[in-house]
Amino acid sequence: MRTILLVIGAVGVILLLALLLSQSSADTIPYAVTGTTGEIEFRRYPEMVLATVDTAQENAGFDLLFAYISGSNKPREKIPMTAPVITSQKIPMTAPVVSDAGSISFVMPAGMKREETPDPLDSRVRIVTIPEREIAVIRFSGYAPLADVDAATSRLQAGLKNEGIVTTGQPFMMRYDSPWTPGFLRRNEVGVVVQR
């Protein structure tokens, strides 16, 4: 009995440490929930500024963006990290794939305008402004292997089609957690811009 209690206690301590270590210090971009249908949530996001790298190698793009917010910009300023990190998604196999190139983007802090955003020193980092928009998302946890992302994307597209909701552009992935967050605590979302 004592061994069982020790194992339960150890598991509890490990879970508590994992939870504490996984807490992100990054601010989350604000949004307003505008409705739901099934597992799909609709959100209105304000205008936002993104630092974006076009690349087929997500890790290389992340490194460039992290360098940018760490001071690789013209005034050599640090920019606070925000969540989510946004990556473009390939269209599921039911549609033609136009390009293997993707993109990864960091969202600038809420309320930051383009004219306030430092210019990057590396020309591979682009600064773009995204207008206010409504997005449909499906949330899931885990390390987001391609099969899970594709499954969530397919469910999102099918759910929107069943509701007669028009989408604009390609689906994208939003990740909210630091790399050391355990999979079961990770927040991932697949989203697409909608017109309702």
Whole-angstrom Cα distance, residue 90 to residue 150? 9
Q: Residue 97 pLDDT > 50, yes or no?
A: no
Q: 68 in helix, strand or coil?
A: helix
**Residue 84 preceded by cis peptide, ω within 30:** yes
User: H-helix or E-strand containing 5?
Assistant: helix 2-22
Can you list the domains of the chain with their CATH numbers? 25-195 (3.20.80.10)
CA distances from 135 to 48, 95, 195 (A): 13, 21, 9
Give the mean model confidence (pLDDT) for residues 148-160.
Answer: 96
Give the mean model confidence (pLDDT) for residues 163-188.
Answer: 90
Tell whether the torsion through CA atoms of 37, 43, 102 and 61 is positive or negative: negative
Backbone angles phi, psi at 33, to 5 degrees: -75, 125
Mean pLDDT across the chain: 85
Q: Higher model confidence: residue 155 or residue 4?
A: 155
Give the mean model confidence (pLDDT) for residues 12-30.
Answer: 58
Q: 190 in helix, strand or coil?
A: strand
Looking at residue 14, its pLDDT comes to: 58
User: H-helix or E-strand containing 127?
Assistant: strand 125-130
pLDDT digits (tens, 9 = 90+) for 39-81: 999 999 999 999 999 987 888 899 999 999 999 999 999 999 9
